[in-house]
């Protein structure tokens, strides 16, 4: 094996170490998993509206601020920090290997050597510890807020999302009822909660067949890819003690012959991943429940037709 091959294999090994120990923290967390994906029609690139909690006659509705296309959530700053450090380090090694100087401890006196590989691994482990600590703090914070009787929310401006007037929601429901006189708000919330439970159950069983009719093609393809990865890696994302605390309709609208309704789901559950062979917990906790809020958007062809999940969004 020549020196170039040894260098390439060594670098790939170090990068795999980093990806496994840093980025696995965000993988396989329930259906939705703290990420935003799917389609909300023309509203796909705006954050879902939050309900106005204390309406008053004199208030004015906050303007809806357009948001950038949403990316998978979790660890944004630390990932950026880790990516920057890793990118800079790799760039330095490449320049070193091309004869522009460098750490000088590589094979044959230049390029990527044992010291650089250890440095990459060390940076990866450091970022892993930082992200894990941040996650622990967030979980403790959410648990404290929940035990005090509610969720601590930032201001509407901090979320970059608008505030949905009850009048706007009522108007949207009225428009839906023009084509479907049997539509009932309370019944729809029960339907949304039922779909939530069914999808989470299918996700845990790593088989979406029972809920295919409840998903748009886009959502089904995304979840199927992640399930295939779980099966390939012999992992099971287990969801237990699921309790939906509240389902609130926050947006209702129609476009291009489709009805859309977004609900804010408030729930808690045990969410952890186990090794398929040993049953050992490899991510999450099987004792500490997590509490979360997620926006689920449902769509259907205008009229008395079945609803399908079309998007999952974070606050």
Average pLDDT value for residue range 72-81: 44
CB 295 within 8 A of CB 265: yes
Residue 247: CB atoms within 10 A of its CB come to 19
Half-sphere exposure of 194 (CA within 13 A, CB side): 9
Closest among 19, 79, 24 to 275, alpha carbons compared: 24
In this predicted structure, what is the pLDDT of residue 120?
72
- Where in the chain are the domains? 1-30+70-158, 33-67+160-315
Mean pLDDT of the chain: 74
Q: Contact 271/284 with Cβ under 8 angstroms?
A: yes
CATH class of 33-67+160-315: alpha beta
CA distance 196 to 203: 11
What would the two tokens of residue 273 be?
A: 């991943």
Question: Do residues 311 and 301 lie in contact, with contact meaning Cβ atoms separated by under 8 Å?
Answer: no
pLDDT tens-digit series, residues 189-243: 999 999 999 999 999 999 999 999 999 999 999 999 999 999 999 999 999 999 9
Q: What percentage of residues in the chain have a pLDDT greater than 90?
A: 49
Tokens of 24: 């696995």
Lowest mean pLDDT among 23-37, 247-261, 295-309: 23-37
pTM: 0.61
pLDDT digits (tens, 9 = 90+) for 93-143: 544 544 444 444 444 455 556 666 667 767 766 666 665 555 555 444 444
Q: What pLDDT does residue 101 have?
A: 47
Token pair listed for 152: 């601590």
- Residue found by looking up tokens 């892993």 in the block: 128
CA proximity to 151, closest of 296, 294, 298, 297? 294
**β-strand partners of 196:** none
Question: Quick one: DSSP state of residue 47?
Answer: P
Check residue 33 and give its pLDDT. Answer: 72
Q: Specify the pLDDT at position 161.
A: 40
| DSSP H/E element including 270 | strand 258-275
| H-run or E-run covering 192 | helix 185-204
More confident residue, 299 or 79: 299
- As given in the structure block, the two tokens for residue 292 are 């979360």
DSSP state of 251: E
Which H or E run contains 217?
Answer: helix 217-232
Bridge-based pairing state of the strands 50-51 and 308-313: unpaired
CB atoms within 10 A of CB 57: 4
- pLDDT tens for 175-194 read 999 999 999 999 999 999 99
**Whole-angstrom distance, CA of residue 201 vs CA of residue 87:** 40
Distance CA 242, CA 230 (A): 21
CA distances from 256 to 89, 217, 302 (A): 50, 18, 9
pLDDT band at residue 156 under the 50/70/90 scheme: very low
Can you give the length of the chain in residues?
Answer: 315
CA–CA gap between residue 264 and residue 71 (Å, rounded) = 19
Q: Tell me what pLDDT residue 167 has.
A: 82
Nearest of 72, 306, 297 to residue 211 by alpha carbon: 306
Mean pLDDT on 269-291: 95
The confidence score (pLDDT) of residue 34 equals 72
Least confident of 128-142, 159-173, 192-206, 247-261: 128-142
Q: Who's near 292: CB < 8 A, 6+ residues apart?
A: 34, 142, 266, 267, 268
CB 275 within 8 A of CB 235: yes
Q: What is the pLDDT of residue 288?
A: 95
- Whole-number Cα distances in Å, 45 to 41, 260, 307: 9, 15, 22
């Amino acid at each position: 094996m020549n020196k170039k091959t040894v260098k390439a294999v060594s670098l790939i090994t170090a990068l795999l170490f980093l990806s496994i120990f840093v980025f696995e923290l965000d993988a396989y967390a329930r259906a939705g998993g703290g990420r935003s994906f799917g389609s909300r029609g023309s509203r796909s690139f705006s954050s879902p509206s939050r309900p106005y909690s204390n309406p008053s006659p004199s208030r004015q509705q906050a303007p809806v601020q357009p948001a950038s296309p949403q990316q998978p959530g979790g660890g944004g700053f630390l990932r950026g920090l880790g990516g920057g450090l890793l990118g800079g380090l790799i760039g330095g090694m490449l320049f070193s290997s091309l004869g522009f100087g460098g750490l000088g401890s590589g094979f044959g006196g230049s390029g990527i050597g044992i010291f650089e590989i250890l440095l990459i691994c060390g940076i990866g482990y450091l970022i892993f510890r930082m992200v894990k600590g941040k996650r622990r703090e967030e979980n403790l914070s959410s648990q404290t807020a929940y035990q005090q009787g509610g969720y601590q929310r930032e201001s509407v401006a901090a979320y970059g999302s608008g505030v949905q007037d009850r009048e706007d929601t009522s108007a949207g429901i009225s428009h839906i009822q023009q084509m479907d006189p049997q539509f009932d708000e309370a019944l729809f919330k029960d339907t949304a909660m039922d779909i939530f439970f069914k999808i989470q159950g299918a996700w845990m069983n790593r088989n979406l067949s029972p809920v295919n009719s409840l998903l748009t093609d886009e959502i089904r393809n995304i979840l199927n890819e992640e399930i295939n990865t779980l099966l390939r890696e012999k992992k099971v994302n287990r969801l237990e003690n699921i309790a939906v605390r509240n389902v609130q309709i926050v947006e209702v609208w129609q476009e291009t012959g489709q009805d859309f309704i977004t609900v804010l789901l408030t729930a808690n559950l045990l969410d952890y991943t186990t090794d398929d062979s040993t049953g050992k917990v490899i991510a999450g906790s099987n004792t500490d429940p997590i509490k979360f809020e997620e926006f689920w958007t449902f769509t259907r062809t205008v009229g008395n037709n079945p609803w399908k999940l079309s998007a999952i969004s974070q606050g």
